[in-house]
Amino acid sequence: MNYYSLNREAPNTTFKEAVIKGLAPDKGLYFPESITPLPVDFFKNIDQLSYNEIAFEAIKQFVSPDIPEAVLKTIVEETLSFNFPVVNLNNNISTLELFHGPTMAFKDVGARFMARCLGYFNKDNSNEVTVLVATSGDTGGAVANGFLDVKGVNVVILYPSGKVSEIQEKQLTTLGKNITALEVDGVFDDCQDMVKQAFLDPELNHYKQLTSANSINVARWLPQLFYFIFAYKELHNTYNDIVFSVPSGNFGNICAGMMAQQLGLPIKHFIAANNLNNSVTDYLETQEYKPKKSIQTISNAMDVGNPSNLVRIQEIYSNFLDLKANMSSFSFTDQATSDAVKEIYDNYNYVADPHGAVGYLGCKAYLAKNPNAHCVFLETAHPTKFLDVVEDVIKEKQPLPKQIEAVMGKEKVSIKINNYSELKEFLLKN
Ligand SMILES: *Cc1c(COP(=O)(O)O)cnc(C)c1O
């Protein structure tokens, strides 16, 4: 598969180059040149397919021929080494738990898949890369864990000192080896700005092959389409009219769901569930897109004012009315979110995290007008990653899962930096 830049001022390129570069030279996001639907039989016989077989068939066209089939089989198996349970709350609402990976965030799948692709591309030591990421929390841990020990890949994570939770900090500062954590005296936006400056620095890019590991990168974005097919497999014999409510920040996850739909998955509708960062909710109402400054909320992984993947969504639905027919967007306050955590606990004895709770609210808003649908909200993080909010609302202590416990006892190692020139000096020396 070749990829083109959505800014359309850069040459088309292979999957391999798109992964190594991250962003096209004209700063556009890469998008596949074509999408061939899977055979009708694939969906008809889905009950007979394993998750590994489903994932392999669904992603094959996007990575071929750069990743040979035998290698892809191994990458898929290693990526999906944990469960993706669907939990039924009632006749109209289920949740798909995406938090059973090593860092208990849904970003584990994309990070693990991308890491293994880069590892394969560097198999003869010809493609050494530095993955540079800024994190406000979950991305750092998932990327650190996913890329640990991958040959030829050095990972540098910038995080704002004192602004991530203790669990999140431990997840990104305790691994060592090819993972370095840079602790920035500032806020998330400072980290993000420094990373952007690094990608635009000609001198740095002359010496280093830098790439990104957020959902801009096609190898982190596309594997997320698996989730939607997995949930369909679990639910299609029981429910018609399956819709997905996706807690959205950069809109990578929901956009991957739309790719699954393009492959032929019978999804009736998408709901973009948002906190008060509502640029897309407004866009669907007014047809006019205005990026906003991000607002801090209790579902902080979705505090994004200018979602990077909206351009991919607009590419899939080039007609605004088609987009509107296929996607609704709702925005919810922190109060509504914590009330939802309580409601889900009281009514269904289920503990949701604040991001999942926003997804649940998205389901309820959609079902109010479409009572016959079955809505699946994605649970994107384990509730103990947001202990302060969750325990405060449900008034009950939560046990720490083993993945989290294992990391809490380890010692933090980070390098403090204050500005871009210190970042550049670090990158040039290492
Ligand atoms: C990253 C993240 C999201 C948002 O996902 P996007 O693909 O950026 O829309 C939602 N919930 C959690 C817990 C996350 O870490």
Cβ of 302 closer than 6 Å to ligand 1, yes or no, is yes
pLDDT for 299-355, tens place per residue?
988 999 999 999 999 999 999 999 999 999 999 999 999 999 999 999 999 999 999
Give the CB-side neighbour count of residue 294, counting CA atoms within 13 A.
21
Topology of domain 85-106+221-399 in CATH is Rossmann fold (3.40.50)
Q: Which of 103, 107, 331 to mutate to test the pocket of ligand 1 (most atoms within 8 A of CB)?
A: 107
Domain ranges of the chain: 85-106+221-399
Residue 196: predicted pLDDT: 85
Whose C-alpha lies nearest to ligand 1, atom 8? 250
Cβ of 355 closer than 6 Å to ligand 1, yes or no, is yes
Q: How far apart are CA 345 and CA 341, in angstroms?
A: 6
Cα of 125 from ligand 1 centre, angstroms: 33
From the list 286, 279, 298, 267, the residue with the least C-alpha distance to 361 is: 298
Cβ of 172 closer than 6 Å to ligand 1, yes or no, is no
Q: Are 143 and 155 in contact (CB under 8 A)?
A: yes
Cβ of 107 closer than 6 Å to ligand 1, yes or no, is yes
Q: Which of 95, 136, 250 to mutate to test the pocket of ligand 1 (most atoms within 8 A of CB)?
A: 250
- pLDDT of 187 above 90: no
Cβ of 180 closer than 6 Å to ligand 1, yes or no, is no
Ligand 1 atom with minimal separation from the 256 CA: 7
pLDDT for 209-220, tens place per residue?
999 898 999 999
- Burial class of 8 by CB neighbour count within 10 A (0 to 12, 13 to 18, 19+): exposed
Predicted confidence band of residue 43 (pLDDT cuts 50, 70, 90):
very high
Q: Is the dihedral of CA 41, 44, 47, 48 positive or negative?
A: negative
Predicted confidence band of residue 128 (pLDDT cuts 50, 70, 90):
confident
Residue 260 CB neighbour total at 10 angstroms:
23
Q: How far apart are CA 323 and CA 212, in angstroms?
A: 28
Say if strands 86-88 and 93-97 run parallel, antiparallel, or are unpaired: antiparallel
